[in-house]
Structure 1
């Protein structure tokens, strides 16, 4: 068994499990293990089954310490059970896992164990200073003079009796508040508190094996504000794909906040997950080149779109349409990608499509483009578009065409078609093969 205890500063042993700071820390911890509980003023979690998943004890310890510090964790300890880990954290010692547990606990001050604290004055009068002193007292006398919870807690801390915990359950919806330590009048400075909320959000998403495509940061103005400023404001951030990467979500939120002007100082933040979707985990390659490419393209596009504006960064999206000019449309890179599919084709598709088909000359019933064209493959009839109406101009974009792959002595391989709806069928150049 491997337990970790995370202690927040300025909390006493009577802290409520519903303390917002403890709640936020417990939600964040759920990404490492489902066995998370609140014990007095600390959050404890059992991590034996998670060590290999997170790359070994050293890597797991470094991640817990790094992200925990951002959430305000003041002390952290590791031990074979939760009571021992909590006692070590209170004493300011970190590692009680690789050493004989009895020796480590015997040297700790006796009030590092919660069950001892109600009796510490009496125990001090009989000469007890450490947990080892309390443990060496006659068990019969301790049982008669003190309540049974003292002996039970000692047995559990020293590993002689099992522990019982009430595990934190993953809530169905994420909504968390954070009161700022001081009033903030610059939107960019809200990132300090917003990142703490994002860390809890990512932990909640990991526990649900999900990612978010939209989340909203709300802020409440200080009570001493102008009436025209209102009670607060909000900012919704969208992602094209479900994600729970804290660095990407943080950069994306920072880009949006850089364009916000606060109407009054802010004293409280609230973060909500608006859209949550299952996130499919992908197995990584064993080859070292798998991670050599840097940041993924969708993440880069989202950050650029947040900086320049959502309509200034576009990406192509495939559509189910047999007409080549309608097989693709452009949408904002910040919008979620729909499920993409494309109509099948019997002929090879060109790499480049002309925006407007170019009408070709015809000689002896043969189309010409930098010379007479020689037909290689075809025809393939493309027919449809009766549903595509331009009501403003009174047009129906219905087409009936026969496509061919043609060879030009000067221009190479081309994609041409012959119209069938017109009174006088004509030839057009529509694409060029790279």
Structure 2
């Protein structure tokens, strides 16, 4: 077994303790427990996942410093790690039991109530207590003292109440100083994103929407209000806190604080199941580049606005102008259905390289369409009838022209090959209307 133990920060500066720390520790192992004012985690089963104890220790210490924590103490037993943490010693995975002998009795919870009386008998350290006759110690101080001592030395197993993962994530952080610039809130928000990452890892989930709320200082102006909030979203579920922090920084660049901020609150609004990506030795460079495209689009959308970064979405529709719709790049990649039963689209004839939006109505003379001269119909007709399920004008990007059309490939003396269609007349006495819809390259 291998245990790591943390104590509260020695200084008085506010820290996210202890619930946020337990959420963060859940990102390394599901076995996290609280012992008094300390947080402990058992990581023996997670060593292979993180590449061994040196790699895991380096990662834990780097992220712990961001949370304002001192390096943890490591030991093969939980109470031994806690005793080393209280003594300010780093420990190691393969510590011999006698390392605990020089430690004072106050590092063991079971010995704290009896420390003064034991000191009068000349017993000041755990080693002194081990050398006392066990029967006499049990009669005078109770069996709980020997039980705690044996658990610390690994002679008896210990039972722990593991931290359960809550259904909803919310973390608070009181800032060590008052912040007046919105961009500076990102550093404090990262101390809340680290626990969020651990919470998401424990739930095997990713987040699509987060909300950061800030509370103004008590000496704020009357018109400033209690605080403000910011919601930012991602196109796909993620638990990459670096990407979430970069997106948050882009949004905070457009925020102006009305008063100094003293406290931050982070909560997850939309959480979805997320399967971790397996490492594939056969993944090519194109796949890796495609996986990194969405974070770039999300950052551009946060910087320029969602309506300025669009992507095409194919749709099941017979009308050429609504076969592809443009939506914000950060929205979920779900192609909207046309509303009719799914069936393969009919085979079509020649398609032009350029479409006119909207189609241009042509002049008709003697029942013949004209565009820079009289048009000569070469191929057709190809009938397309669509939009009857919801009306042509109800579709985004569609035009109010009736959806029953006969398409032709036509030739103009001056414009070359064209893609034109004629509409079905509503009344028998009316002539069909002709439109120019596309140009062949």
- TM-score bucket (shorter structure): 0.7 to 0.9
The Cα RMSD (Å) is 3.7
Unaligned runs of 5+ in 2: 426-430
Secondary structure in structure 2 of the residue aligned to 1:75: coil
Whole-angstrom distance in 1 between the partners of 2:352 and 2:292: 24
Secondary structure in structure 1 of the residue aligned to 2:91: coil
| Cα distance change on mapping 1:97 and 1:399 into 2, 3 Å | same
Whole-angstrom distance in 2 between the partners of 1:51 and 1:248: 26
Secondary structure in structure 2 of the residue aligned to 1:396: coil
| Cα distance change on mapping 1:379 and 1:117 into 2, 3 Å | farther
Is 1:6 the counterpart of 2:6 in the alignment? Answer: yes
TM-score by length of 2: 0.81
- In structure 1, the partner of 2:424 is 421
Unaligned runs of 5+ in 1: 13-18
Work out whether residues 219 and 268 of structure 1, in 8 Å CA contact, stay in contact via their aligned partners in 2. yes
Residue 373 of structure 1, CA deviation: 9.9
- In structure 1, the partner of 2:85 is 89
Whole-angstrom distance in 2 between the partners of 1:245 and 1:239: 11
TM-score by length of 1: 0.82
Whole-angstrom distance in 1 between the partners of 2:403 and 2:45: 62
Is 1:384 the counterpart of 2:390 in the alignment? Answer: no
Whole-angstrom distance in 1 between the partners of 2:310 and 2:172: 35
User: Could you list the per-position Cα deviations for residues 215-273 of structure 1 after superposition, in whole angstroms to 9, with x for gaps in the alignment?
Assistant: 11111111111111111111111212111110011111111112111111111111121
How many aligned residue pairs are there? 415
Aligned pairs for 1:164-175 within 5 A: 164-175=159-170
Aligned pairs for 1:14-413 within 5 A: 21-100=17-96, 102-287=97-282, 289=284, 293=289, 296-338=292-334, 344-347=344-347, 352-356=353-357, 381-386=383-388, 387-390=390-393, 396-401=400-405
Work out whether residues 419 and 427 of structure 1, in 8 Å CA contact, stay in contact via their aligned partners in 2. yes
Whole-angstrom distance in 1 between the partners of 2:439 and 2:356: 9
Work out whether residues 347 and 380 of structure 1, in 8 Å CA contact, stay in contact via their aligned partners in 2. no
Secondary structure in structure 1 of the residue aligned to 2:72: strand
Whole-angstrom distance in 1 between the partners of 2:439 and 2:113: 85
| Cα distance change on mapping 1:403 and 1:163 into 2, 3 Å | farther
Secondary structure in structure 2 of the residue aligned to 1:218: strand
Work out whether residues 207 and 270 of structure 2, in 8 Å CA contact, stay in contact via their aligned partners in 1. yes
Residue 354 of structure 1, CA deviation: 2.0
Whole-angstrom distance in 1 between the partners of 2:215 and 2:158: 42
Residue 353 of structure 1, CA deviation: 4.5
Work out whether residues 356 and 436 of structure 2, in 8 Å CA contact, stay in contact via their aligned partners in 1. no
Residue 108 of structure 1, CA deviation: 3.1
| Cα distance change on mapping 1:172 and 1:421 into 2, 3 Å | same
Work out whether residues 211 and 231 of structure 2, in 8 Å CA contact, stay in contact via their aligned partners in 1. yes
Whole-angstrom distance in 2 between the partners of 1:128 and 1:351: 94
Secondary structure in structure 2 of the residue aligned to 1:170: coil
Secondary structure in structure 2 of the residue aligned to 1:21: coil
Whole-angstrom distance in 1 between the partners of 2:108 and 2:175: 32
Secondary structure in structure 2 of the residue aligned to 1:242: strand
Whole-angstrom distance in 1 between the partners of 2:290 and 2:264: 32
Residue 103 of structure 1, CA deviation: 2.8
Residue 195 of structure 1, CA deviation: 0.9
Of stretches 47-56 and 270-279 in structure 1, the one that deviates more from structure 2 is 47-56
Work out whether residues 79 and 95 of structure 1, in 8 Å CA contact, stay in contact via their aligned partners in 2. yes
Whole-angstrom distance in 2 between the partners of 1:405 and 1:36: 71
Residue 428 of structure 1, CA deviation: 5.6
Whole-angstrom distance in 2 between the partners of 1:397 and 1:51: 66
Work out whether residues 168 and 268 of structure 2, in 8 Å CA contact, stay in contact via their aligned partners in 1. yes
Residue 111 of structure 1, CA deviation: 2.4
Work out whether residues 421 and 437 of structure 2, in 8 Å CA contact, stay in contact via their aligned partners in 1. no
Whole-angstrom distance in 1 between the partners of 2:418 and 2:58: 58
Residue 6 of structure 1, CA deviation: 2.3
